[in-house]
Structure 1
Amino acid sequence: MSPSASPSPWISRFSPLIPTGGKVLDLACGSGRHARYLQAQGLHVTGVDRDNAALQTLQAEGAGEWLLADIENGPWPLEGRVFDAVVVTNYLWRPLWPQILGSVAPGGLLLYETFALGNAAYGKPSRPDFLLQPGELLQVCAGWSVIAYEEGLLQAPDRVVQRVAARRPLPDDSRPSALQP
């Protein structure tokens, strides 16, 4: 894997929390740097993107499910499906929050990393529509178990990001009780 295709350190740090053989959604997967990495970890990856050429390259490599979809202007292509983990990096379209969160199975993991307010000082994206507000990922994950959260300046290349690793709660009736033997 070339350096430009290396997975985000955030994704590689928290991917071991995904169950062995688990199903992962790589949303806005692009050229597949995370999809390839996750497949190499023995995970079953579904990638969604609007870039047909990138998806064709991934399809030619074999394993995985690759869905061509314009998720900002078309229907959600994964209605009713849930995954052990959902991975999103360098992508933000706020109207999709309900679909993204709903795609994480109970007990599943959300790994999200994208640009945040302040990034305009370092380059694109610079429009507020494409930059997370302070603490926004924490608000989106309210009620979930936040495993880790970071917000701030990263280097090489310089950029301002927010990132979260959060676990969707199990239904109340499936949580073990301290009173159960």
Structure 2
Amino acid sequence: MEQDRKKWNERYRTSPPGQEPLELVNSYARLVKTGGLALDVACGLGRHSILLADIGFTVEAVDISDVAVEELNKSNHPHVFAKQVDLDHYAITPGNYDLIVTVNFLQRKLFAPMIAGLKPGGILIYRSFMYSDQNQGAPMTRQHLLEENELLHAFCTSLRILHYREFLSVRQRWGQAWVAELVGQLQPVK
């Protein structure tokens, strides 16, 4: 954990990522009833946490970087509660969230807890990088990259898939990289 925390602290100090929220998160989060509880996993500097709070969610935001969490807490947004955690050992509260968002982070052992963390009717928005020979300078090892259709197969038996795609994304900072994105909904109990 300490090595990861230091790595991400340095990144947020020297080369912070862009803070424009993804349209994927903006559009699909609005399908969830306002006033709900959202979880932003690996929230970074909080671009999605602040967006979600601005559209009516109370947001629990977690990240390994205390630098990122401190910056997010400086925003003083009354509906964002950011906390530094070790995501390798983080426990998602079952049945607690109307919305869970994870962008540019991959921790496979959190897949099942994310599903369990949703309330009936809750939505999961997940986007992360994929392995490909076409990636240019993606700053990750293979263990931190999704395989083809991996994200879809991880969630398709438990969630109703509202959106899924894999595509080559052109990024200013590193060049191009393959990305997978999924939006799924836990069906209400009948």
- By the TM > 0.5 criterion, same fold? yes
Residue 108, structure 1, aligned to residue 126, structure 2: no
Letter of the aligned partner of 2:177 in structure 1? R
Is the contact between residue 109 and residue 166 of structure 1 (CA under 8 Å) also seen in structure 2? yes
Distance 1:117 1:15, change over 3 A: same
2:107 aligns with: 93
Q: Which has the larger radius of gyration?
A: 1
TM-score, length-normalised on structure 2? 0.81
Q: Distance in 2 between matches of 1:12 and 1:119?
A: 30
2:68 aligns with: 54
Query: Between Structure 1 and Structure 2, how many residues are aligned?
Result: 168
2:168 aligns with: 153
Q: Distance in 1 between matches of 2:49 and 2:101?
A: 9
1:146 positional shift: 0.5
1:47 positional shift: 0.2
Question: Structure 1 stretches of 5 or more lacking a match?
Answer: 175-181
Q: Distance in 2 between matches of 1:119 and 1:57?
A: 35
Question: Structure 2 stretches of 5 or more lacking a match?
Answer: 1-16
**Which one is further off, 45-54 or 9-18?**
9-18
Q: Distance in 2 between matches of 1:128 and 1:156?
A: 19
Residue 65, structure 1, aligned to residue 84, structure 2: no
Runs of 4+ that moved beyond 3 A: 78-81
Q: Distance in 2 between matches of 1:107 and 1:33?
A: 24
Alignment deviations for residues 126-174 of structure 1 (CA, whole Å, 9 cap, x no partner): 4221111111111111221110101020124322100001101222xx2
Is the contact between residue 131 and residue 142 of structure 2 (CA under 8 Å) also seen in structure 1? yes
1:136 aligns with: 150
